[in-house]
Amino acid sequence: MEDTTLNQIQSALAELYRLVNTLRGDNGCPWDKKQTPETVGIYLIEEVFELVDAIESGNSDQICEELGDLLFHILFVARMFQERGKFDLSDVAQTITAKMIRRHPHVFGEKNINSSEEVIQNWHKIKLDEKKASGRQSLLDSVPPRLPALIRAFRISDRVAKSGFEWMDIAGNLQDATDLLDRLQIVLRNQVINFSAGQFGDLLFSLVNIARLAKIHPESVLAGSVKKFELRFKKMEKLVAESKRELSEVTLEEKALIWDKAQKMVP
């Protein structure tokens, strides 16, 4: 595939921009015209997750389509704020360009950085400076409250660690997780449901810290494990169906045997 020229990109983006303007215009789509940034927010979240799913599938056609859906929503939201007189798409592009240049002084400036770790450290320092300039009260103010809990836990854990608020290594966090698991077992045996829910949350957060220290993103690995379980369960269903039975008709002991077989077939 030949490299796309800048003129081709500009032309394609201009066509999409005109389409968005038409949809929001006087003779546009009734549904699109009544949308607000607030009502579109949930669709934007869904599009991001659909794009991530496509990337993980490795299907380039699907990735291209999902990128297009996300790009459309970005232009759509920018158009709505333009209608309110707040900013337009050029402001969005200029703002992110300035931010990326500011956060990459080793590329666009004279700062000398030789490793990706140094890049991360310098990125964090720049973000701290930006926080002070913006008047934010906390390092955590920029972590979106509506992020999925596992992703948000990882982001918060990472932010506070980069500020120097970290006193345990992997071994210490593993011991902390073990202690939390022991306490959880005790409260579960005593059937203290409300307390056990809190203990379980503490255990999950401790495991997120361990994942971060091990350079593992908990959301990605959990998604992989869930997908593997899903494939194995579907294989088990297929094996049962081949025996002309429903899953509910199979004894628990036989289900265990079929599950072992499915695990070998879907490693």
* Tens-place pLDDT, residues 118-164: 888 887 788 777 776 766 678 788 788 888 899 999 999 988 888 88
Residues ≥6 apart with Cβ < 8 Å to 153: 204, 205, 208, 218
Q: Of 232, 224, 219, whose CA–CA distance to 153 is shortest?
A: 219
Q: If you compute the radius of gyration of the chain from its CA atoms, what whole number of angstroms results? A: 25
- How many Cα atoms sit within 13 Å of 168 on the Cβ side? 14
Res 97: pLDDT: 96
C-alpha angle with apex 125: 121 to 131, nearest 5 degrees?
Answer: 140
Is a pLDDT exceeding 60 seen at residue 2?
no
Is a pLDDT exceeding 60 seen at residue 216?
yes
**What are the tens digits of pLDDT across the range 70-103?**
999 999 999 999 999 999 999 999 999 999 999 8
Question: What's the average model confidence in pLDDT over 199-223?
Answer: 91
Q: What is the mean pLDDT of the chain?
A: 89
Question: What's the average model confidence in pLDDT over 246-253?
Answer: 91
> In whole angstroms, what is the distance from residue 256 CA to residue 237 CA?
12
% pLDDT > 90, the chain: 58
Q: At 32, is the pLDDT very low, low, confident or very high (cuts 50, 70, 90)?
A: very high
Lowest-pLDDT range of 128-137, 210-219, 233-242: 128-137
pTM, rounded to two decimals: 0.66
Res 165: pLDDT: 85
Res 135: pLDDT: 65
